[in-house]
Amino acid sequence: MQIKELLLQSPSQQTVTVKGWVRTKRVSSSVAFIAMNDGSTIHNIQAVVSDGIVSEETLKLVTTGSCIAVTGILIPSQGQGQTVEVQVISIQVYGTADPEKYPLQPKKHSLEFLREIAHLRPRTNTFAAILRIRHALAFAIHQYFNDHGFFYLHTPIITGSDAEGAGEMFRVTTLPAINPPLTEEGKIDYKEDFFGKETNLTVSGQLEGELGAMALSKIYTFGPTFRAENSNTTRHLAEFWMVEPEMAFFELTDNMNLAEDFTKSLIRYALENCADDIAFLEKRLLEEEKMKKKEEQSEMTLSEKLRFVSENTFERLTYTEAIEILLQSKPHKQGKFNYPVEWGIDLQSEHERYLVEKHFKKPVILTHYPKEIKAFYMKLEDDGKTVRAMDVLFPGIGEIIGGSQREDDYEKLLQRTKDVGIEEDSIWWYLQTRQFGSAPHAGFGLGFERLVLFVTGMSNIRDVIPFPRTPKSAEF
C-alpha cells in the first residue's frame, strides 16, 4: 500500500508492508524511529523499531536515502500530525546509501545545488511536491478539455514548417554521429537532412492544430515544444510543454473567455487536489519571504494568491491602452524601465509585470497588438494596424498565454505571408484551409511550465520541470 493510503487507515492488528526511502533515522537508548517516504505524499510515515527486533547490522544500513521495506503493525501515532505509525516486525534493505557519499542530507539544500543533481532531486520534499502538482495540472488539462468537447490532437514533433520560428528552431538531421559526411573544407555537411528534406523540431503545434480545428471544431495539443532560446532567463527553457487549444467558430472574445475560465479552473483543481503540497511549498516560501526586505515581501501567501486569481475577473484592455498606462507610470517617468516605452514596442517582462503587479494587481489580458510585432496568421483588425491578438499576463510571471483569432480570409492571409517574407509554397497546405471551407477560428498557447511556476510559487522555470533543457544543461 502507498504511504498516502496507509496514513488514512485506522490502527489495526493487521500487518502491513511499507516500501520507500528513508528520510531520517533517530536512535535513542531502547528504540529507533525511521521516517520513510515513497513519493506518494508530502507526509512521511514513521516506523518504530523496538530494541532487539532488528539486528544491529541491518539497522546500521538504514540511513538517509536508503531504500527499505518495513513490515509491521499499524499503531496509533504518539507524535503530532499523523494518526498512525508502524510498529516494526522486520526490515528488508533494498538499497543502501553511503552517508559519506549520498548528496541529499536531511537539511535544506539550495535550489541551485539541487539543479546540479537533477537525477536525485525528486527525492526531496520540495521537488516531489512540485512534480505531484505538475502531474495534477496535466491531468486537469485533459479533464477540462474532455469535459468541454475538445479532442486531443497529436501534432508532429518533427516538422517541415518553419513559418513561425525563424532563428529559434533546432534542425533535425539524419547525420550519423560517427564519420558524418564532410564538405570539401572538412566541415560537417549539413545538407543531408531528414531523408533529404529540411526539418525542424516544432516550436508550436498551432499551424497543424488549426488543421484539426477545421475538421473537429475543437481540438487541443499538449506536448513538448523546442526553442533554441539563447537567453538565460528564469522563464525560458529550450524544451518546454505547451498546451494549445484551437477552436472553429470562436472569435477573440470567446478565446479570452476560454483562456480565463481554463486557467482559473486549473488553479482551482490544484487548490482542491494538491492542498498538502501547496501548504508545504507555501511554508517554504514564507521562510524565504522572511529573509527579504519588508517592501519586497509579498502581500499574499501562495494559497491566498491562487484563490484570489481563481476567484476574480481578469482585467481586459488593449495594447494601446496599456501603453498609455505605462507612459503615465512612475518607472517610465523616472526612466527606470530598461526598455523605453512607446507604441509599437514588444512589451518586455518588466512592462508586463508592472501592469499586473503594480497597476491592476490581478491577471491582465491585453489585446490588439500592432501587427508588426505579432505572427502573420493573426486576424487583421479593421484599423489595418492591429491584430486580434491576446496575451494573458500573470503576477510574478508576465506572459503565460499568447493567442489570437486567426486570419480566415484567404486573400488577406496571402498578403500577410508575402509581407513577412514567407514563401507561399512552404505553407500551401495551411493556405488551403482558407480556400476550402474557411471558418472563423481562434486559439492560444499556454506555457505549461509557466503555469506550474505560478501554482507552486517557484521563481525559476528550471525548478518546475524534471529535466530542464537550457543552453547550459542537457546532460541527461
Q: What are phi and psi of 87, to 5 degrees?
A: -85, 110
Q: Rounded to whole angstroms, how far apart are CA atoms 310 and 317? A: 19
Q: Rounded to whole angstroms, how far apart are CA atoms 342 and 319? A: 11
Q: Quick one: 67 or 420, whose CB is closer to Mg ion?
A: 420
Shortest separation between residue 320's beta carbon and ligand ATP, angstroms: 19
312, 305 in Cβ contact below 8 A? no
Do strands 218-226 and 199-201 pair parallel, antiparallel, or not at all (unpaired)?
A: unpaired
Span of 18-26, 270-278, 321-329, 394-402 interacting with ligand ATP by CB under 6 A: 394-402
Q: Quick one: 246 or 399, whose CB is closer to Mg ion?
A: 399
365, 390 in Cβ contact below 8 A? yes
Q: Footprint of ligand ATP on residues 227-246 (CB under 6 A)?
A: 227, 229, 235-237, 240, 242
Q: Rounded to whole angstroms, how far apart are CA atoms 374 and 386? A: 9
Which amino acid is it at 432? Q
Among 162, 277, 381, 399, contact with ligand ATP (rule: CB under 6 A): 399
Q: Quick one: 20 or 447, whose CB is closer to ligand ATP?
A: 447
331, 354 in Cβ contact below 8 A? yes
Q: What are phi and psi of 249, to 5 degrees?
A: 70, 20
Residue nearest to Mg ion (CB): 402
Shortest separation between residue 446's beta carbon and ligand ATP, angstroms: 6
Among 394, 449, 454, 464, contact with ligand ATP (rule: CB under 6 A): 449
- The site string for Mg ion over 360-399 (x = CB under 5 A, - otherwise) reads ---------------------------------------x
Among 212, 402, 443, 447, contact with Mg ion (rule: CB under 5 A): 402
**What crossing angle do the helices spanning 206-216 and 428-435 adopt, rounded to 10°?**
30
404, 255 in Cβ contact below 8 A? yes
Q: Report angle CA 358, 363, 368 to the nearest 5 degrees.
A: 100
Shortest separation between residue 351's beta carbon and ligand ATP, angstroms: 11
The verdict on 443 binding ligand ATP (CB under 6 A) reads no
Shortest separation between residue 105's beta carbon and ligand ATP, angstroms: 32
Q: Residue 90 class from Cβ within 10 Å (0-12 exposed, 13-18 middle, 19+ buried)?
A: middle
Shortest separation between residue 17's beta carbon and ligand ATP, angstroms: 42
Q: Quick one: 363 or 402, whose CB is closer to Mg ion?
A: 402
Q: Which does 449 bind (CB under 5 to 8 A by kind): Mg ion, ligand ATP, none?
A: ligand ATP
99, 64 in Cβ contact below 8 A? yes
Q: Quick one: 38 or 399, whose CB is closer to ligand ATP?
A: 399
Q: What are phi and psi of 253, to 5 degrees?
A: -65, -40
Q: Which does 401 bind (CB under 5 to 8 A by kind): Mg ion, ligand ATP, none?
A: ligand ATP
With residue 199 as reference, give the H or E element that holds it: strand 199-201
Reported in sequence order, the residue ranges of 103-254 that DSSP labels E, i.e. its strands, are 151-152, 158-159, 171-172, 199-201, 218-226, 239-248
- The single-letter DSSP state of residue 158 is E
222, 163 in Cβ contact below 8 A? no
Q: Which does 468 bind (CB under 5 to 8 A by kind): Mg ion, ligand ATP, none?
A: none
Shortest separation between residue 420's beta carbon and Mg ion, angstroms: 16
Q: Which does 54 bind (CB under 5 to 8 A by kind): ligand ATP, Mg ion, none?
A: none
The verdict on 209 binding ligand ATP (CB under 6 A) reads no
Q: Quick one: 104 or 453, whose CB is closer to ligand ATP?
A: 453
Shortest separation between residue 263's beta carbon and ligand ATP, angstroms: 11
Among 395, 445, 457, 468, contact with ligand ATP (rule: CB under 6 A): 445
- How many C-beta atoms lie closer than 10 Å to residue 395's C-beta? 22
Q: Which does 123 bind (CB under 5 to 8 A by kind): ligand ATP, Mg ion, none?
A: none
Distances (CA, A) of 347 to 229, 319, 337, 393, 473: 18, 9, 11, 11, 28
Cβ-based neighbours of 364, under 8 Å, separated by 6 or more: 314, 315, 316, 317, 322, 352, 355, 356, 392, 393
- The site string for ligand ATP over 35-74 (x = CB under 6 A, - otherwise) reads ----------------------------------------
Span of 7-15, 131-139, 185-193, 393-401 interacting with ligand ATP by CB under 6 A: 393-401
Which three-class secondary structure state does DSSP give residue 70? strand
- Residue carrying the nine cell digits 535513542: 28
Q: Rounded to whole angstroms, how far apart are CA atoms 333 and 326? A: 9
Shortest separation between residue 161's beta carbon and ligand ATP, angstroms: 14
Shortest separation between residue 151's beta carbon and ligand ATP, angstroms: 21
The verdict on 400 binding ligand ATP (CB under 6 A) reads yes
Chain residues binding ligand ATP by CB under 6 A are 227, 229, 235-237, 240, 242, 399-402, 445, 447, 449-450
* Binding positions for Mg ion, rule: CB under 5 A: 399, 402
